[in-house]
Amino acid sequence: MFPDLTCDDVFRLETKRLWLRWPRASDAPAIAAFAALPQVAQMTANLPHPYPPREADRFIFKARAENSGGHALHLAITRKSGPRPVLGLVSAAANGEIEVEIGYATAPEAWGKGFATEAVRMVIDTVFALTQAARITANSRSHNPASRRVLEKLGFAYVDSGLDFLPARGGLHPCDRFRLERADWRHDAEVRRLPPMAHQRLGIADVPIADPAGELHEC
């Protein structure tokens, strides 16, 4: 799916504030520092919790293998200026011939500064520019408003909700599914408001969400 250009570890993307580059062995401590946090892991399908020793090394090895095989583009997010520890990860993985699924996570100390949106926007542009993908998909746990907002800002459309298998969470969990069609991809896309989340529609007031400190709140 991905071209030779992205299959070499010199490949990197630049945004206004960020570098997106292949993860490397020396990133393991920085990745483990945020991937091990419950408020990060529990919103994802694939980050185990508790985070086992050497898990970041395993992730980096697998990510590099998938990148070099052209099956995916797993990138570490760092700032362009100042200290440059990895502040997040963004992945685009082929799902068949014409579909790419994206995933992302950032460190809580970096939340709310637009970094995830900036990084994912660049990956979307790259996927549509460099591959034949017809659409990009994303899944979000149904009580993850931050992820939903990132997708909303990037022009994704809500598809439906249902129970999805989240390997690292064990079993099936309520998730919302989103899609961005190539035809709807615009650099200057108007933000389309997504429909309310399920608990908002139903008037349920007790869905807990985590803040960056990892404390659970009612929303």
Size of the site for ligand COA (CB under 6 A): 23
Q: Taking the complex as a whole, how short is the minimal distance between the CB of residue 141 and ligand COA, in angstroms? A: 7
Site for ligand COA in 31-50 (CB under 6 A): 40, 43-44
Q: Provide the minimum distance between the beta carbon of 40 and ligand COA in the complex, in angstroms, as a whole number.
A: 4
Q: What is the CA radius of gyration of the chain?
A: 17
What is the DSSP code (8-state) at residue 49?
A: S
- CB-based contacts of 144-149 (< 8 A; 24+ apart in sequence): 144/43, 144/209, 145/197, 145/209, 145/219, 146/111, 146/116, 147/43, 147/104, 148/176, 148/178, 148/194, 148/197
- Under the binding rule (CB under 6 A), the answer on residue 149 touching ligand COA is yes
CB half-sphere exposure, 165, CA atoms < 13 A: 1
**Alpha-carbon torsion, ordered 192, 193, 198, 204, to 10 deg:** 170
Q: Is 116 in the site for ligand COA (CB under 6 A)?
A: yes
User: Which 182-211 positions form the footprint of ligand COA (CB under 6 A)?
Assistant: 209
* Angle at which helices 115-130 and 145-153 cross, to 10°: 50
Near ligand COA by CB under 6 A: residue from 84, 114, 179, 189:
114
The answer to whether 2 and 72 have CB atoms below 8 angstroms apart is yes
Question: Shortest distance, CB of residue 26 to ligand COA, whole angstroms?
Answer: 22
Using the rule CB under 6 A, give the single segment among 55-63, 111-119, 176-184, 194-202 that binds ligand COA.
111-119
Residue 140 in contact with ligand COA, rule: CB under 6 A: yes
- According to DSSP, the β-strands at 135-141 and 99-106 are parallel
The answer to the question of residue 126 lying near ligand COA (CB under 6 A) is no
Pick 7 or 199: Cβ nearer ligand COA: 199
Q: Does 115 bind ligand COA (CB under 6 A)?
A: yes
Residue 108 token pair: 């809580």
* Shortest Å, Cβ 74 to ligand COA: 14
Q: How far apart are CA 204 and CA 17, in angstroms?
A: 38
Number of CB atoms found within 10 A of residue 48's CB: 15
Of positions 63, 144, 178, 197, contacts ligand COA by CB under 6 A: 144
Q: Which of 52, 112, 167, 208 binds ligand COA (CB under 6 A)?
A: 112
Residues at the site binding ligand COA, with contacts judged by CB under 6 A: 40, 43-44, 103-106, 110-117, 140, 144-147, 149-150, 209
